[in-house]
Structure formats: C-alpha cells, structure tokens
Amino acid sequence: MALNPGDVAGTLALDVVPWPAVPAPAVAVVMPLGSTEQHGHHLPFDTDTAVAAELARRLVDARPGLVLAPPLAYGASGEHEGFPGTLSMGCEALERVLLELGRSASRWAARLLVVNGHGGNLAPLDAAVRRLRSEGRETAYWTPQVPGGDSHAGRTETSLMLALRPAAVRREVAVTGPTAPLQELLPRIRAVNLAAVSPSGVLGDPAGASVEEGRDLLALLLDDLDRAVGRWLAGEDVDEGGRLTGWRAGVRAAVAQVSRSGSEAEPDA
C-alpha cells in the first residue's frame, strides 16, 4: 500500500520518515543550524545545535505541513579555535553550504527556514539567505534574542541545557567568565580569539541557572519563533534580508524578567 504524507503521525522529520511521507511541495523545510564549539568547562560542544534543534522540532510539531531537516551541526566558530575540540568550517564555507542546501530544498519545498543557534553564523547566514532570496527562493532565518541574557556558556545557555539535557551539564566545574557587555569584548575576540578574553571559554556567569528558567526561556523563544513564522507564512513582516522576529513588547519584557544576568544578547558568541 502506498504511503501518503498524511499517514505519518508525529513530527515530519527527514531523519525519521521515508520519502513518500514528504509532501511535494512542502509548505516549508525547517533546518536547525548550530555549531560544534567549546562551551566552557561545564557544557557540551553541541549546545548551540541542541537549542536550535529543539526549537525547530517544537515549531514543526505545532505547525502541520512543515518538514524538519536534520541539524547542520557545524558553523563559523573560528573565535573558539583556541580551545581543543572546536570544529569550524568558517564563514565562506558555511555561506556556500547554506546556498547549496537552500537551492536543493527549493526543488521540493516552497520555503526554507533556518533556525540558527550560534551568533557567529549570522554574517554568512544573512549573506546566503539574501542570495537565495535574490534568486527567487523564499528563504528566511530566525535567531534567538534574549534580553538580559549573557553571551556564551553563562546563565542563559546553562539554563537552556539544564532544561534540555541536564545530564550533560557539569555544574560542579562551572566557572564565571568576563561579564562585560559583548560589544566591549568583541574587538579583542576578533583580533585574537575568545581564549584571549576568557581562558575558561565562558562569557557570563552560570550561577543561578536552573531547569525552571531554561523551560521558561524555551517557551518564550518558541513563542517568538512561532509568531515570526506565522507572519512569514502569511506573507507579512519579512525584511529584505529574510530575518524573522516575532518579538512584542510584552514578550521582550517577559524574557528579560526570566533572564536577568546581563545585557541584551544574541547567544551564542
């Protein structure tokens, strides 16, 4: 008996279903984009990927017709190469990979959405999305913004990982890194690398992180993502570069209240 897209229960994910289960054209394919980079002494290398993948999965669960692609777990993480274990493809290669994946996805999906989890990916991601849009391919991206959040492996990401994979968080060895605003640290990071600013690899203070805070942050970030995607699918509210945001004043205030550890940040540095 032939399999139809409507016959598959649960998340429509390419790492789970066979090809006949995928609608053509699909409403949109959702691709999580993360990194494999150090996150201090206490968080795993796939932190950015884990957060992006979970938000993308929840989005696809909530919106029938969307298709979840496997995460792209490597990004532009050159600033973290002072720490063993980091694997970075660099900006030029990442832009090219995203271009080719976007062109491929457009053969069977009406739209492509990239859910980004690493701040270092933003420049090549933005460039790739602009190029795809200039080619007539409906492409967009979303990246988390956490008012009051710290930049890298601090309270914000530690809370998120406690909510997602508590067994992967080694709280007993967590240390505090520089807590100055990221904009003050970026010149030195760009001139040398992150290790020159923070020998531990942390930017922020993991103290105070909790499962409850992580769950609240995930819910608020998902709300932002879902609002943004809803407007995009309706043909509204997309800037020419394809960056989506669903923030409303009330949501920003709620996120800031949940995460009070620093200045506004786009994790992850």
The tens digit of pLDDT for each residue in 68-91 reads 999 999 999 999 999 999 999 999
Q: How many CB atoms lie within 10 A of CB 1?
A: 4
User: Among 107, 15, 6, 76, which Cα is nearest to 269's?
Assistant: 76
Lowest average pLDDT, out of 80-84, 147-151, 250-254, goes to 250-254
Cα(34)–Cα(49) distance, integer angstroms: 4
Number of helices (H), then strands (E), in the chain: 7, 4
Give yes or no for a contact between 154 and 148, defined as CB atoms under 8 angstroms apart.
no
Average model confidence (pLDDT) across the chain: 91
Percentage of the residues of the chain whose pLDDT score is greater than 70: 88
The predicted structure's pLDDT at residue 1:
42
Q: What angle do CA 156, 221, 16 make, to 5 degrees?
A: 105
Cα(267)–Cα(148) distance, integer angstroms: 11
The pLDDT tens digits of the residues spanning 11-53 come to 899 999 999 999 999 999 999 999 999 999 999 999 999 999 9
Q: What angle do CA 98, 102, 107 make, to 5 degrees?
A: 155
Where residue 6 falls among pLDDT bands split at 50, 70, 90?
low
Give yes or no for a contact between 71 and 49, defined as CB atoms under 8 angstroms apart.
yes
- What is the per-residue burial (b if ≥16 Cβ within 10 Å, else e) of 124-145? bbbbbbebbbeeebbbbbbbbb
Superfamily of domain 10-258: Creatininase (3.40.50.10310)
Give yes or no for a contact between 212 and 161, defined as CB atoms under 8 angstroms apart.
no
Where residue 2 falls among pLDDT bands split at 50, 70, 90?
very low
The predicted structure's pLDDT at residue 10:
72
pLDDT higher than 70, residue 263: no
pTM to 2 decimals? Answer: 0.91
Cα(146)–Cα(154) distance, integer angstroms: 12
Cα(206)–Cα(172) distance, integer angstroms: 11
Q: Which is more confidently placed, 263 or 6?
A: 6
The predicted structure's pLDDT at residue 249:
45
The predicted structure's pLDDT at residue 4:
57
Q: What residue spans define the domains of the chain? A: 10-258
